[in-house]
C-alpha cells in the first residue's frame, strides 16, 4: 500500500538511525537494561543501573548475587521482585549453558529466564542492528492508531509490521518507540506537531 510506504519513509526521514535511550556499555549491561525496562520507563532504568552495575559488573557476579541485595538496587523499578529473580536465573543460565557468553540468536536468548521475544529482539536490534521489529506499549499504540495493525497481541502486531515494512526494521522499531513516547502519547497526543497527521485517521486524533 502506498500509504504504508509513505509512513515508513517519513519515520526513517524524521528519525535518523535512532538508538535506544537506555544507557549501557556492553552486551551484559544491555540485556539487564532491557529486562528492567519491561513496563518501566527508560528514564527510571537509567537511574537504577549505575549503582547496580557497580555492585554487579558482569554476568558472573550477577549469577552469584544475593536475591535480597539485588532487590535493594532495583526496588524503584516496577515488578522488581520478579525481575530480581529473573535476572539471577538469566545470569546463571548464561554461565551454565553458554560459558558465560550472552548468546546472540533469538532461540538461545529466549531460552533464558525473563527473556521473551520482545526482549530478545531489542537486544539483537541494539547490539547487532538485526532486522527485527519489537513491539512495546508505544509501538503497539502507534501501529494501531496508524491502522498498520488491528492485531490483539504484541506478537501478532509485530508480524503485521514486519510484513508491511520488510527492511530497516531496527530503525523503524526505535523510531516508533520515540514517536510514541514523545509525540503520539497515550494521553494528549501532539497531533498538531505530528509529521504523520495527514495520514492518520485515529479516533484519538486531536485537531
In the chain, domain spans = 2-18+133-199, 27-128
Query: How far, in Å, CA of 124 to CA of 130, rounded?
Result: 6
For residue range 144-160, list pLDDT tens digits in order.
999 999 999 999 999 99
Under a CB-based contact definition with an 8 Å cutoff, are residues 35 and 86 in contact?
yes
2-18+133-199 CATH, one of 3.40.50.880, 3.90.550.10, 3.90.1150.10, 1.10.1670.10: 1.10.1670.10
For residue range 51-75, list pLDDT tens digits in order.
999 999 999 999 999 999 999 999 9
The domain defined by 27-128 carries CATH number 1.10.340.30 = yes
Residue 5: pLDDT over 90: yes
Q: Active-site positions? A: 118, 136
- The reply to whether 27-128 shares the fold of 2-18+133-199 is no
Q: What is the pTM of this model?
A: 0.92
Task: Name the phi and psi angles at 112, rounded to 5.
Answer: -80, 140
As to burial, measured by CB atoms within 10 angstroms (0-12 exposed, 13-18 middle, 19+ buried), residue 94 is: buried
Amino acid at each position: 500500500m502506498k500509504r504504508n510506504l509513505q509512513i515508513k519513509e517519513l519515520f526513517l526521514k524524521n528519525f535518523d538511525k535512532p538508538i535506544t535511550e537506555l544507557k549501557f556499555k556492553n552486551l551484559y549491561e544491555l540485556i539487564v537494561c532491557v529486562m528492567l525496562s519491561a513496563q518501566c520507563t527508560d528514564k527510571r532504568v537509567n537511574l537504577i543501573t549505575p549503582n547496580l552495575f557497580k555492585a554487579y559488573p558482569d554476568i558472573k557476579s550477577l549469577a552469584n548475587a544475593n536475591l535480597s541485595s539485588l532487590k535493594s538496587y532495583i526496588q524503584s523499578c516496577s515488578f522488581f521482585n520478579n525481575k530480581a529473580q529473573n535476572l539471577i536465573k538469566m545470569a546463571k543460565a548464561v554461565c551454565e549453558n553458554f560459558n558465560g557468553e550472552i548468546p546472540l540468536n533469538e532461540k538461545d536468548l529466549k531460552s533464558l529466564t525473563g527473556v521473551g521475544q520482545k526482549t530478545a529482539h531489542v537486544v539483537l536490534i541494539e547490539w547487532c542492528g538485526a532486522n527485527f521489529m519489537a513491539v512495546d506499549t508505544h509501538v503497539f499504540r502507534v501501529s494501531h492508531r496508524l491502522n498498520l495493525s488491528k492485531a490483539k497481541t504484541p506478537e501478532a502486531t509485530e508480524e503485521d509490521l514486519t510484513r508491511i515494512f520488510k527492511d530497516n526494521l531496527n530503525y523503524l522499531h526505535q523510531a516508533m518507540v520515540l514517536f510514541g513516547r514523545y509525540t503520539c502519547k497515550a494521553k494528549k497526543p501532539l497531533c498538531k506537531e505530528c509529521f504523520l497527521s495527514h495520514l492518520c485517521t485515529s479516533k484519538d486524533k486531536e485537531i
